[in-house]
Structure 1
Amino acid sequence: MPVTSGVPWFDDRGRTVNAHGACLLRQDGRSYLFGEYKTDDLNLFAGFSCYSSADLVNWRFERIVLPVQPDGLMGPGRVGERVKVMKCPSTGRYMMYMHSDNAGYTDPRICVAVSDTIDGEYTFLGELTHRGEPVRRWDVGTFQDDDGTGYLLLHEGDVYRLSQDYLTAQELVADGIARGGESPAMLKHDGTYFLMFSQKTSWESNDNFYLTAPAVEGPWTHRGYFAPEGSLTCNSQCTYAFTHTTADGDVPIYMGDRWSFPHQASAATYVWLPLHVRGDTLAIDTYWGAWDPLTCRPAEFTGREADVRFSSGTTGDGIGIPFTGSRIVLVGRSRPDGSYARVELTSTDGTVISSIYVTFYSKVPDDGYRYVSPVLPRGDYLLQVTVLGEPTEWSDKSGERFGSVGTRVVIDRALVLD
């Protein structure tokens, strides 16, 4: 089964994998994914989640590892974003870093929590400090070097080396190297450090850029975009990078988010793609809608084609797709005037198996997979797709409007898998 980008993923409970602005750790043959546990209405902290997988495809929900706190910086009414976790070599404890803020994004704090186990409930410790003063920034990333040294990555390109116990930001080793950049992510390949950033366009995707250096301390060199220019980084925003081991060697993997405000829990999706490194050049050469994690090569879903073609922007319009099999895949088009559909999967007796929002919006048009159902016992089912009639739209701090200019849903075909 492939890793599929731009579609909701389902966990072992049949619910969407809800882990955004995420990071990934490997332990005992499993990958642990930590992310923001979003809702489909308000952009407020609802907890940080943890999932695990043996193959990057099938995800098991572990728990909410940091729930909403009774009060304070991670309490009710606060924003919690960009959760990142590293294991501290000197203490053996798992350290969690996050951005805390108020609903208006005028009170940014970098905070820290800790757990003795990777998937346990983390204890919130409070603000991260540098020389006794709180680190008052927002987008946060982390990087752990080969020798175990931990680094904190911040928007605008500030990089702090953490203390040996990872509890404080000990030294600012790079200062403002990426003005205008946010959502930092770092990787190391063949002795070269690569640091990726998004530009600042709120929830909207943009052409992300990267820098390289021979050491974390620099000197850092701007290299430009790492995905085809104009693709808006394959309609995504960078959040993390990790190394994936295959039979042919180690492959760096890009982790990105396709945000979908306001319905983030259902409709925000993930873009995970192999990165190609050639010397000091980093690239996503081509967008793959699906790829095989065993080989890091492109893959496709194959099945019986259902006679489906649907296009409408009228609220309440829809199409029902009866099928016999174990899975159904929708292929369609996202575009600037696209927006939400409600996609509901039911059994023949009317029992609702899954009901979520799926977005058909992207600033750059894209033809590809829009929905891949959870794996089901082979049987008879009905998939109902209904135009919600609600555009995905929002404004940034300056009041500029972003998002869809319509409410259209476009489906070109469906594939039924046995």
Structure 2
Amino acid sequence: MNKKLFCIICFLWPLLAYSQKYHSFRPGELWLDNNGVHINAHGGGFIFYNNKYYWFGEHKIEGEKGNYAQVGVHCYSSSDLYNWNDEGIALKVSSEPNSDIAQGCILERPKVIYNPNTKKFVMWFHLEPKGKGYTGALSGIATANKITGPYTFIRSTRTTPGCYPVNVLDLHKCPVKQSTIDKKLYGGGLNGEHPDTLNILGRDFKEGQMARDMQLFVDDNGKAYHIFASETNSTIHIAELTDDFLDYTGKYVRAFVNRYMKAPAIFKKDGLYYFMGSGCTGWKPNAARSAVAPSIWGPWTELGNPCQGENSETTFHSQSTYILPVSGRKNVFIYIGDRWNPQNAIDGRYIWLPIDFQDNRFNIHWHNEWDLKYFDCK
């Protein structure tokens, strides 16, 4: 192709894409917004409000530099889930170098919920201050009066400081060994040692527990919960939020102890709570995990990998970020995952797939292309 023709195509492609209307999902393919620009909302969270869906996610830039927050949290809106309008940057990183959300920090998996008592939209996200790697394991909180923002950063925090979980063990209240205190276990694992042997929970009791990959869930009764990977990613914590959704009540449980689950997603169907997550292999995809419980507090029963068929062992080359209930449709849910590209962060793709149910289990199969009519025969 001659250079002149190539330039013409590059110029016209966004204009053609702008007029394009999507009528289906094509997992892994480039997905353009109303401006003909790829949707840039990774590690996303979703909320349905005033008859529209809103998608919040990490805004990435090109190259490995895009793995750090250079812009902020991007927001999109849609009335049909196929076509998305760019609503701009909902939460901007700060140009103030001493800010917790200074440009270059790590800001991951933003989720937004609406508080009917305060009339505020509340955003939580995993936060690591700039230049400190993953040593912080903090949660960031921001609020807005309007769903699309702008969101104002409120604070960052460790979780549930000074509180023991509902299912605390006696060993957690024992004096913590100096060797455990001295361990700088901020990476992906505990080098084969059990978190209870080291008493990581006890080590972090006063300062607050670690929180990395996270999710928010609002139950039918309006109670909100923060679900996150804790204790150096070895254990999931599920913590109840205060009525304003801005803090913890102090009530929480440990789940999946020593199972090293990340990327948590929780949804509810027919009175049962379902969990989906991944293992801990960094940016590389792995086999998904799933579980079911009669209560948000458990007990949780693992169900294995919900993905079926070819490439199921890598969750179809993706990692869970959200399970989306389709508004107006009973028991209709969509798996939403990220196909990360850490070498060129902006080119991460999105995997949306329908969820099937059988005997209190859920399954996910690959589809090159599908639409919401898939659920009509279910």
Which range, TM-score by smaller chain? 0.7 to 0.9
Please list every run of 5 or more consecutive structure 1 residues that lacks an aligned counterpart in the other structure.
299-418
Whole-Å separation in 2 of the counterparts to 1:144 and 1:30: 18
Whole-Å separation in 1 of the counterparts to 2:375 and 2:56: 22
How far did 1:135 drift? 4.7
How far did 1:11 drift? 0.7
2:168 equivalent in structure 1: none
Whole-Å separation in 2 of the counterparts to 1:73 and 1:273: 35
Greater strand fraction, Structure 1 or Structure 2: 1
Whole-Å separation in 2 of the counterparts to 1:98 and 1:7: 26
Letter aligned with residue 123 of structure 1: T
1:281 equivalent in structure 2: 361
Is contact 1:9-1:16 (8 Å) kept?
A: yes
Whole-Å separation in 1 of the counterparts to 2:354 and 2:339: 17
CA RMSD of aligned residues (A): 1.9
2:294 equivalent in structure 1: 214
Specify the SS of the correspondent of 1:175: strand
Instruction: Write the deviation string for residues 202-251 of structure 1: whole angstroms up to 9, x where unpaired.
Output: 1111111011100001111111111027521111100111211466x440
Correspondent of 1:149 among 202, 223, 242: 223
How far did 1:7 drift? 1.1
| Aligned residue-pair number | 295
Whole-Å separation in 2 of the counterparts to 1:168 and 1:5: 36
2:138 equivalent in structure 1: 109
Specify the SS of the correspondent of 2:307: coil
Instruction: Write the deviation string for residues 352-407 of structure 1: whole angstroms up to 9, x where unpaired.
Output: xxxxxxxxxxxxxxxxxxxxxxxxxxxxxxxxxxxxxxxxxxxxxxxxxxxxxxxx
Is contact 1:131-1:170 (8 Å) kept?
A: no
Whole-Å separation in 1 of the counterparts to 2:122 and 2:138: 16
* 1:78 equivalenced with 2:108 (yes/no): no
* 1:171 equivalenced with 2:200 (yes/no): no
Specify the SS of the correspondent of 2:315: helix
Q: Which residues in structure 2 correspond to 1:260-409 (within 5 Å)?
A: 260-265=341-346, 267-284=347-364, 286-296=365-375
1:19 equivalent in structure 2: 41
Letter aligned with residue 116 of structure 1: N
Whole-Å separation in 2 of the counterparts to 1:245 and 1:127: 32
Instruction: Write the deviation string for residues 120-173 of structure 1: whole angstroms up to 9, x where unpaired.
Output: 110101124524755532111111101111000111211001011111122343
Q: What TM-score do you get using the length of structure 2 for normalisation?
A: 0.74
2:266 equivalent in structure 1: 186
Q: What TM-score do you get using the length of structure 1 for normalisation?
A: 0.67
Correspondent of 1:252 among 333, 355, 358: 333
Specify the SS of the correspondent of 1:74: coil
Is contact 1:8-1:268 (8 Å) kept?
A: no
Correspondent of 1:44 among 62, 68, 80: 68
Whole-Å separation in 2 of the counterparts to 1:77 and 1:270: 24
Letter aligned with residue 45 of structure 1: A
Whole-Å separation in 2 of the counterparts to 1:297 and 1:168: 40
Whole-Å separation in 2 of the counterparts to 1:49 and 1:61: 8
Please list every run of 5 or more consecutive structure 2 residues that lacks an aligned counterpart in the other structure.
1-22, 163-206, 230-234
Change (3 A) 1:136 1:72: farther
Whole-Å separation in 2 of the counterparts to 1:33 and 1:89: 20
Greater helix fraction, Structure 1 or Structure 2: 2
Whole-Å separation in 2 of the counterparts to 1:141 and 1:192: 18
Q: Aligned residues: percent identity?
A: 33
Correspondent of 2:285 among 195, 198, 205: 205
